[in-house]
Structure 1
Amino acid sequence: MSEDHIEITSEEDDLFEHYRIVADKGQSLIRLDKYLDLHVANASRTKIQNGIEAEAVKVNGLSTKASYKVKPFDVITLSLPQPPRDTEIIPENLTLDIIYEDPALLIVNKPVGMVVHPAFGNWTGTLINGLVYHFQQLPTGRNGEGRPGLVHRIDKDTSGLLVIAKTEFAMTFLAKQFADHTIERTYQALIWGEPKVEKGTITGNVGRSARDRRVMDVFPDGSQGKHAVTHYEVIKPLRYVSLVKCNLETGRTHQIRAHMKHIGHPIFNDGTYGGDKILRSNTGGGYKTMVESCFHLLPGQALHAKSLGFIHPLTKEWIQFDTELPPNFQAVVEKWENYLNYE
């Protein structure tokens, strides 16, 4: 029995895994790809070779080739996309806003209300159901076997940009960038109140609440949860609310929503984190009516994944995508601007 020490940790919303393997003292010389094939469960030889080519596999901190001979006490680290957990995804002819597509990937602008992938309570009508249908209609060059690869997610009631991998290599290459936190992700959010500091960084572990597993709590002492960092900047202060820009350094579940609540500025109309209550009250009689009309106009939390940048898997060049705020989101911002003008 091998004495290799293997650690596995899930990162970035559990869409891929980090492995750390220490070869035992009696390890005989063996090719790196063959060694990993023996030691990484549920990973095909193709997935391992793609990981090595994408430099998602390192030996003693350095990228190397598949032919490298593993030696005793070598420390091998790798990040690989997790295999899909759903046995069947039903293709559905859904309307998708695909703003860019090439042989390696596509960029989708997801609307509010659409779940990203099938799960309990949402087996149909998801983005992935629509993408599977979309790919079936394309000449993939692999007899229709191509399937979209989910590298990251955004919440059901958050709108905005997602990158979808079309090949195994692209998925591994992109997953490594998410793991290394080199993906540029900028969100815009309408939050309650005006932060005292116009530009700042929120650091605090994010983990599931003991009171309600559907909600994420912030643990600034690091006692629970996973390390999370959000950089924010106020774009437009509107006294009662503020339009802010948020850049994610990490990608935890509900990260921006939990972090904003933690600093006392929950996202507007976010029912999970207290943003659907009338806050920053005004004595004027029209204030309550104004807020309620905004709630009615904007379904879900006022959070939009506005821009996305990364190194392309094939060209190895930086590419950047941007989208406008959804019309109802923009309309709510304008209503607040008008309210201040006539207050």
Structure 2
Amino acid sequence: MKRIKIDEILAGNRLDAFVADQLTERSRSLSEFLIENGYVKVNGYRVKKGYTLIKGDVVELEFDEEDLLKVYPDETVKFDVVLKKDDYIIVNKPEGIKTHPILPFEKGTLLNGIVHKFPSAGNLYAKRYEGGLLHRLDNDTSGLILCALKQNSFRRLKNIFKSGSIKKHYYAVVNGILKKGGALSARIISPYKGSYRVFVDPNTEDPEYVTLFEPIKSGKRYTLLDIELIGGKMHQIRAHLSFFGFPILGDRLYNRDRSFNGRMMLHAYRLTLPGEFDAKTDIPEEFLKVLE
């Protein structure tokens, strides 16, 4: 535990701002978490994050910062390893779980499960709690994720991802009957940092972020699509298809149709790096059942 006595220079600061300044990453959100969960006390008592420090206060930091940044193993998280190399793996994420933690000590995410089987994956990161993950999927999206196991591989694959050389393909079931394929490249806008959804600007094209789609099979009300994702902005496929008038079945954010109560019908089925790997999974059974 670290104890800091507040002098005349530190007096007047909000507690959350003061605690954030004690952290290596100077993260206000992490500071708020620590205060709200009792890891920070003032004069032996829990206080609110907006408390104004006064001269003579003693702030007690009851945590080890190294422990805060760890990704903890969780053997209860089940997933399949589709491809395993010495320095990276490709795994199949189940739908309904997060890709990685967002809070200290959090478990139950895909990365917690990966770290249980491959501990080194938790020690590689460019961002907090992301370990060796090279990309991520939405909670309700299933499918393939690439994860590095060694630092040099992490750097190499990160650069390859940025170059666009790794091809990403998805299956999606959408509302409506589509007869032919196409390309969607309308610009995607996030209204503010941390926004939980994005919007599409119909008047502006963005060639760096394109959603290519091709119908595979149709039922009475729905169509199964094969999609190639170019770029990869947050909710790119979901927002593009919704804007086009064919939202993804089960998408509670971009699809207004509430008659379907199942999972979101989006699955990342293929990752390809020419000359190195071509990992695939089958079409999920529930995708085919809804077309019957």
One fold, TM greater than 0.5? Answer: yes
| In structure 1, distance between residues paired with 2:104 and 2:117 | 23
Distance 1:308 1:145, change over 3 A: closer
Alignment map for 1:140-219 (pairs within 5 Å): 148-195=131-178, 198-209=180-191, 213-219=195-201
Distance 1:146 1:256, change over 3 A: closer
Alignment of structure 1 residues 17-36 onto 2, 5 Å = none
Q: Does 1:108 align with 2:91?
A: yes
Alpha-carbon offset, residue 274 of structure 1: 1.6
User: Partner amino acid for 1:191?
Assistant: V
The structure-2 alpha-carbon separation of the partners of 1:209 and 1:239, relative to structure 1 and needing over 3 Å to count, comes to farther
Aligned ranges 1:1-343 → 2 under 5 Å: 87-93=69-75, 94-119=77-102, 123-136=106-119, 148-195=131-178, 198-209=180-191, 213-222=195-204, 227-278=208-259, 295-296=260-261, 298-299=262-263, 301-311=264-274, 317-333=275-291, 337=292
Q: Normalised by the size of structure 2, how large is the TM-score?
A: 0.67
What is the identity, as a one-letter code, of the residue corresponding to 1:220?
P
Cα separation, partners in 2 of 1:231 and 1:145, compared to 1, 3 Å: closer
Q: Tell me, what secondary structure is at the counterpart of 1:151?
A: coil
Q: TM-score, normalised by structure 1?
A: 0.58
Does structure 2 conserve the Cα–Cα contact (< 8 Å) formed by 1:114 and 1:127? Answer: yes
SS in 2 for 1:230: strand
Aligned partner of 2:128 in structure 1 is: none
The amino acid that maps onto 2:111 is I
Give the secondary-structure state (helix, strand or coil) at the position aligned to 1:215: coil
Is 1:115–1:122's contact at 8 Å kept on the other side of the alignment? no
Distance change (3 Å), C-alpha of 1:261 and 1:145: closer
Measure, in 2, the Cα distance between the counterparts of 1:122 and 1:219. 39
Q: 1:241 to 1:275 in 2, by over 3 A?
A: farther
AA aligned opposite 2:70: E
Q: CA deviation at 1:302?
A: 0.4
Greater Cα offset, 241-250 or 199-208: 199-208
Q: Which runs of 5+ in 2 are unaligned?
A: 1-24, 26-67, 126-130
Q: How many residues align?
A: 219
Distance 1:131 1:234, change over 3 A: same
Change in 2 beyond 3 A, CA 1:266/1:145: closer
CA contact (8 A) 1:192 1:268 kept: yes
The whole-number CA distance in structure 1 between the counterparts of 2:187 and 2:104 is 28
Does the residue aligned with 1:150 lie in a helix, a strand or coil? coil
> Compared with structure 1, are the counterparts of its residues 246 and 122 closer, same or farther at alpha carbon in structure 2 (3 Å cutoff)?
farther
Secondary structure of the corresponding residue to residue 271 of structure 1: coil
Divergent runs of 4+, >4 A:
144-148
Q: Please, which moves more after superposition, 170-179 or 101-110? A: 170-179
Structure 1 residues 175 and 264, CA, compared in 2 at 3 Å: closer, same or farther? Answer: same
